[in-house]
Amino acid sequence: MSENNWLFKADPKDYSIDDLANEQHQTTSWDGIRNYMARNLLRDEIKKGDKILLYHSNANPKGLVGLGQVVRSAYPDDTALDQSSVYYDPKSSRDNPIWYMVDVKLVKIFPEVIELRELKETKGLEKMMLTQRGSRLSIQPVRKSEWKIIMQLVSKLK
DNA sequence: GCCAACGTTGGC
DNA sequence: GCCAACGTTGGC
């Protein structure tokens, strides 16, 4: 039962790693995922204890900003039931929840952003989902080999 | 701000 | 079930 590695994307204008750092217990429910492929990963694959790369998209600079860990596995995303939420989805119901979320705890904020540009130039990350053209999935699997390479990049940061 | 890539919707 | 139209994502 080995743990798996993931990458969670967020637009820091919506939710940044600093927002996560300011949460109580530096933990948040990762709500608002409204893509079926990402949902399937959240619901079926992502387990408590799994480690996560946190990524800022649509940002300057954009790239990896830190590490998190799953502290609660999937449970229904209640923002889908909240009519006042931007994540409200009338197709979802308490009896038949469509959307799920996990709880994520901050592990580390990198002293500097590991930029997408750098990742694209790094040997061994050529096939990483993040570096592929047109890759929009907001919850992505990260291969063990890719995780290792990125951890080496992290260890070189000041 | 542009636009390619992608997912979803809805007419048929 | 197909697929064009549309909306969104996100890099550049």
Per residue in A105-147, pLDDT tens?
999 999 999 999 999 999 999 999 999 988 899 999 999 999 9
Q: Which residues of chain A (41-60) touch nucleic strand C at CB < 7 A?
A: 57-59
Angle (CA) A29-A34-A38 rounded to 5° is 80
Q: List the domain boundaries for chain A.
A: 5-141
pLDDT, tens digit (0-9, with 9 covering 90-100), for A59-87: 999 999 999 999 999 999 999 988 888 89
- In this complex, the nucleotide whose C1' atom is nearest to the CA atom of residue A36 is B7
Terminal Cα-to-Cα distance of chain A (whole angstroms): 33
Check: CB of residue A151 under 8 Å from CB of residue A64. Answer: no
Q: Which two tokens stand for residue A66?
A: 């830190």
Residue A110 and residue A66 in contact, taking contact as beta carbons nearer than 8 Å:
yes
Q: Which of A115, A33, A40, A27 is nearest to A68 (CA)?
A: A27
Look at the domain A5-141 and name its fold: ph1033 like fold (3.10.590)
Rounded CA gap, A117 and A139, in Å? Answer: 20
Q: Is the pLDDT of residue A94 over 90?
A: no
